[in-house]
Chains A and B, each alone.
Chain A
Amino acid sequence: MRKLLLALACVISLGGCATVEALFSISQFATASISNPVTPDMLNKIELGMRIALDGLKTYRQSCIDGLAEVNCRRNIVAIQAYTRRIPPLLTQARSFVRNNDQIDAIVVYNQIVALIANFKSAATAAGVAIKGV
């Protein structure tokens, strides 16, 4: 049992790093503009990218709660949450604008989401969360 827990701790620890790496590799989204309008496919792409990343971050969070992650994990999570908590209302707006093909507003909100992703990437870097391939 102890061996299993140790193995799980290693896997989750590695998973945390890989997750953040995956997040930042995925989240290099292009800025929207009038010549590059926000389509449902673009929205789907950014949402799927965030979804995969958040699934991993959720695993990191759980390993932190279980005491299996590094000592600074709580501080790291709070730092990242400062940005991820601003995403849901923007997503709600972006979805509405894209569905109504309100491109002027969709572009503004979409670019705010892209900027927020860049910000929480910076927060994770500043918190010492290992990232590669950025």
Chain B
Amino acid sequence: MDAAAILLIVEKGLSLATLLIQAGISAEPEIIALLQMVTGANKGTVTPEELAANEARLDQLLADFNADLPP
């Protein structure tokens, strides 16, 4: 993953984390994800464990957002 792409995601992620915190929502999972990504970039590649954790979180978010809206 190239440095520019990582910096863009980190920048946007931190902006979003700030908004989540201001709205009273925990931003911890996203901050951890950003840290993992930067760590992975330093190592040169994402580990299977990091990928699996990222995927599990994404699956949960997709399920939450895709659920029918209550009446």
Point out the residues of chain A lying under 8 angstroms from B55, CB to CB: 47, 91, 95
Q: How far is the CB of B10 from chain A (nearest CB, A)?
A: 10
Total A-B contacts with CB atoms under 8 angstroms apart: 118
Point out the residues of chain A lying under 8 angstroms from B63, CB to CB: 88
On whether the beta carbons of A48 and B66 are closer than 8 Å, the reply is no
On whether the beta carbons of B8 and A40 are closer than 8 Å, the reply is no
* Distance between Cα atoms of A22 and B19 in the complex (Å): 12
List 21 A-B pairs, Cβ < 8 Å: A15-B20, A15-B23, A18-B15, A22-B12, A40-B46, A41-B1, A44-B46, A47-B54, A48-B58, A50-B62, A51-B54, A51-B57, A54-B61, A59-B20, A61-B64, A64-B69, A74-B69, A78-B69, A88-B62, A88-B66, A91-B59
Residues of B near any A CB (own CB < 8 A): 1, 5, 8-9, 12-13, 15-16, 19-20, 22-25, 29-30, 33, 37, 40, 45-46, 48, 50-51, 54-55, 57-59, 61-66, 69-70
